[in-house]
Structures are given as C-alpha cells and as structure tokens.
Amino acid sequence: MADSPDSPVAIVCVGMAGSGKTTFMQRINSHLHSKRDPPYVVNLDPAVRSVPFDSNIDIRDSVNYKEVMKQYNLGPNGGILTSLNLFSTKIDQILSLLEKRTAPPPEDAPAGTKQIKNILVDTPGQIEVFVWSASGDILLGSLASTFPTVIAYIIDTPRTASTSTFMSNMLYACSILYKTKLPMILVFNKTDVKDAEFAKEWMSDFETFQAALREEEETGSFGGMGGDGPGVGGGSGYMSSLLNSMSLMLEEFYSHLSVVGVSSMTGDGIDEFFEAVQEKKAEFERDYKPELERRRKEREAQKETGRQKELGKLMKDLNMENKNKAKGPQGKAPKEEPETISDMEDDDDDEQGLVDPDGADDDDQEPADGLKQRYERALQDGNPSEEDFSFAKYLHKANVG
C-alpha cells in the first residue's frame, strides 16, 4: 500500500437515487482537469445509459446489463447485482491496471507528465446493491488494501430539510460507515437550491436539532407532512421521542465525519471537498490502515490454521488406512486382494480348510503373484506352440481356471 504524500487516493461516490451523484462526479472530474491534475475514473454502474464524463474503466465494457437480465431472468436490481458479481471476478486485473496507471512517471516520460493522484469511482444509484453485496465488499476491500480509500456519501440537501428525513440519511450514513469501515465525507449537494448550514448545526449541536423538531411539532409539519396531514400532532408521540434519542446517540458518530456543502451545478464547495479528502486520506493512513493490516493478518492466520487442520485430518486418515491394512479383519493378517474371479473362488476354498488336488497345503505354496507374473510363469512351464495354445489350456497352465 502506498504511503507517500503524493500517493493516489480513491474517492468512492455513493448516494441514493436522485441525490445528484453523477452530476457531482462530473463536477469533481472537470475541477481536477481544470487544475491540470486529471483523475482516473471508474464507472461501476452497469445500468446507466450515458454518463457526462469519460471513464477509464467502465463496467459496461465488460458486462452487458440487459443480456444479464435476459439470460438469468432477473429484474433491474438483480441484474445490477449479478453484473457487479461478474465484474468483481476481474478485480485482480483492475487493481493491476490502477497500480500501473497511478505509478510515478518514468524518467524518460515526456516533460509535464504528472502522476495520477485521484481515482474517482462512480457506483450504482441502488446504493444497497453496492454497499451490502458481496461484490461491493470485494471491490471496496480490494481497493482499500491497495490505495487510501475515502467514501463520499452524497445527500440531497433540499429533501433533507425535515428532521425525519435528515435522521434517516444520518442512520444510512452510519450503517455505511460501519459496514465499509472506511473514512467518510458527508457531501450535502444542491446547496444552490438550499444552503446546508442548517444540517451542519443539527450535527454539531443536538439542542438545535431538538428545537427544530419542536417547531415542526407545533406547526404540524412533522415528517414533512402538510398542516392537514397525518403529521399534525404526530411528532409528540413515539417518533419525536425516537428522533430526540437518536440526536443524542449519533453525537459520537458525527465527530468522526467531515461535512461539506457543495453545489454540483455551480461548483461551490468543491475546494473544501478536496481539502476534506486530504484530511481523510491522512486519517486512513493513521487509523484505518493498521486495522486493515490487522484484519489481513488475521485472515492469513485463519487460512494457515485451516490448512494445518486439513493436513492433520489427511495424515490421520492415511494412518488409519495403513493400520487397517496391517491388522486385517478381527486382528488377522490381511489377505491379498483377489485379482481374478478364480482367485476369489480359491480364497473361499481356503476359508473352508480345503487343500489343492496335489495334496499340498496352501501354507506350502508360494505367495500369490500378480496376474502378470502368473501369465509369464505359465508360458515358461509349458512353452506351448501356436497350434495347441488355446485359451482353455492357457488358463489351466496359469492355474487360474
């Protein structure tokens, strides 16, 4: 994992449908290009028809979303999930390509060539399909094991103006933070429509949030409902008590987040966003990287323990098999496996205490040879010619008939 100050950082943009995530991706992409610091862009949304930016790695080049739906008889969400699962099987190639493209330029590179310092990752609008799926876990975990990785959670600010929708967004952000175990930036988008200062105050001072909640109760607009809707008086019961408790509970959660307000339309707040990215990058190196290393070592130790356990089982099985062969049934020496049906019949005669026609006991006979050796001995004893060498005589001389 890269440790230098100029090492690239991966910015994974997640957000609910309609939050302006794709427009935000376009804005930060154009911002970096204007700074003559072009990023490396990865698109992980297989269902999008077109994106307003060029992608260096695009899942649509590898997986046909509509064909996946048709072939596996899936709906939209199932098609996205299966497409991500198929794409995650190429994670080694993706990481190899990212490492190659973000490596420092060689000495013989053209003048002005810069190292890529930002990897932008766009995800599907169905946020739960990416965050809570096995493929999303593989993609994020593999990315974080190679580059410092930051989650940018995009929030639709105008739709978060009510206390209930605000708290819903905070709970979702909390679940993503503890699921991914990666540093997170809350991006309140669309500040050109509504300023995000109210949300910052609610996060920094729970009394301000409780005052807003009481105001909604008094005006009958709790939960975003109108004055004649079910919200009238509804905030005075269970829901308002729950939101009050959550505002206190999430105070510790808020302290681990960076909050920025941006406008993807005008570009306001983008500089503050990249400042927050650098802060979270340093936090990743300081706090998250040791934890990732510890988890990686634990997985390797578990794999090694599993291998040793399986090896022990194998050796035990081999020892038991050897003991059974040496001991035989009821403690007797094992009998040689019969090689032909005639050998099996001879074995049955031996068990009944019979002797061969020549009057010699089996104890006086030589141990039974392999089938090949018996054939060779029969040919040497009789030396039959081609005329009288019949199959019946051969069996008789070989003592297998």
pLDDT in tens, 127-166: 888 888 899 999 998 999 899 999 999 999 999 999 989 9
Mean pLDDT over 190-201 rounds to 94
pLDDT at position 109: 73
Note if the pTM is more than 0.85: no
The single-letter code of the amino acid at 111 is A
Given a contact cutoff of 8 angstroms between Cβ atoms, the answer to whether 208 and 215 are in contact is: no
**Strand segments (E) across 72-219:** 118-122, 149-156, 184-189
DSSP state of 360: -
Helix (H) or strand (E) holding 15: strand 9-15
64 within 8 A of 142, measured Cβ to Cβ: no
Q: What is the pLDDT of residues 298-334, one digit of tens each?
A: 877 888 888 888 878 877 777 776 666 666 555 555 5
Number of C-alpha atoms within 13 angstroms, CB side, residue 271? Answer: 3
Give the domain 9-105+113-220+247-295 fold: Rossmann fold (3.40.50)
Residue 80 has pLDDT above 50, yes or no: yes
For the chain, counts of helices (H) and of strands (E): 16, 7
Pick the residue with more confidence: 245 or 68? 68
Band (pLDDT 50/70/90 cuts) for residue 296 is confident
The structure tokens listed for 134 are 């096995």
